[in-house]
Amino acid sequence: MSQPTRRSVLKTGALFACCGMAHMRLARAQMVEGGALSVTEIADGVFAFAGIPAMMLARNQGRICNLGFIVGSDAVAVIDSGGSVAEGKELIAAIRAMTDKPIRYLINTHMHPDHIFGNAAFAATGATVVGHHNLPRALEARGEFYLKSYRDSMGSALMADVRIVPPTQLVTGEQELDLGGRKLKLIAWKPAHTDNDLTVLDEQSETFFTGDLCFLGHLPTMDGSLRGWIAQLDTLKAIKAKRAVPGHGPVPAQWPQGLEPEERYFDVLARDIRKAIADGVPIAKAVKTAAQSEQGNWQLFTEYNERNATAAFAELEWE
């Protein structure tokens, strides 16, 4: 268990012991307001938070994806900021419980709201926001829509602080960041989960932050290119790492074994959709049956499989 959690528990316990039920509720509220995310040190100086497998809602404050930070001799790099400014602030509190070194980089692995809605929390830290060279354009196109649509699901109170903060340091191909004797290798991928996927490899501990190029438990979601994702799986697998932090799912994950479930799902989905196209099955019918054999293997299957199948059909019918 991490230090922030122990501290939070101690704080709550002390208030509860002396002040009773009403104050325990107050203590819980304070933990949500000023608490720290419960992070685990998965390798020396590498910390990760495991999001819950759920849709982004007011009650979970958007805490659905995995986040992390890496502490070097001089500075800290953060990987993704979370699904709300509230979560971003809790991530900063978790960092501050571990180190007072400056937060030099906030790395965004891609455009999705669960990974970037906490960016505004980092404005006061002076961190440089780093992202794929396609990320600014993607946020320009989608940002307003994200802000509007998540006001409905997460509520206007939680969304009031959320801003679209695009990266100012852009990655094309590969780029190295230095935290003081600790090098991070960033790779900008071709379209797969999105058209702006970026991964982070901590070379010292051989820990690989995959962003949403790897899903475990939570059904993968398709917002880029199914063919592109499948085509890059072998290159992903070849990344030498001792452990991975997937975008969603248990932390840490085995590498490259962590890619196997999504690879199987993609194969089934592509096979079913290609067969439907060859048989002349209309899209509306094909997306209802595609990859149904995978249902028992995934969380949030009902929420996302039909959308994935629709995207796959649109992509594969032009092969």
Q: How far is CA 314 from CA 143, 145, 157, in A?
A: 24, 22, 37
- Provide the minimum distance between the beta carbon of 117 and Zn ion in the complex, in angstroms, as a whole number: 12
Stretch that binds Zn ion, among 105-113, 149-157, 202-210, 294-302 (CB under 5 A): 105-113
Stretch that binds Zn ion, among 9-17, 106-114, 134-142, 236-244 (CB under 5 A): 106-114
Q: Is 80 in the site for Zn ion (CB under 5 A)?
A: no
Comparison of 87 and 212: residue with beta carbon closer to Zn ion: 212
CB-based contacts of 268: which residues, under 8 Å, 6+ apart? 291, 293, 294
Total site size for Zn ion, rule CB under 5 A: 2
For 293, counting Cβ atoms within 10 Å of its Cβ (0-12 exposed, 13-18 middle, 19+ buried), the class is exposed
Comparison of 56 and 290: residue with beta carbon closer to Zn ion: 56
Q: Distance between CA 315 and CA 298 in Å, rounded?
A: 23
Whether 109 contacts 198, CB under 8 Å: yes
- Site string (194-223) toward Zn ion, x via CB under 5 A: ------------------x-----------
Comparison of 63 and 112: residue with beta carbon closer to Zn ion: 112
Whether 68 contacts 78, CB under 8 Å: yes
Tokens representing residue 296 in the block:
């028992």
Binding to Zn ion (CB under 5 A): which residues in 159-178?
Answer: none
Comparison of 105 and 304: residue with beta carbon closer to Zn ion: 304
Q: Is 112 in the site for Zn ion (CB under 5 A)?
A: yes
CB-based contacts of 61: which residues, under 8 Å, 6+ apart? 32, 83, 84, 86, 87, 154, 158
- Provide the minimum distance between the beta carbon of 197 and Zn ion in the complex, in angstroms, as a whole number: 8
Stretch that binds Zn ion, among 37-45, 70-78, 96-104, 107-115 (CB under 5 A): 107-115
Whether 106 contacts 119, CB under 8 Å: yes
The site for Zn ion (CB under 5 A) is made up of 112, 212
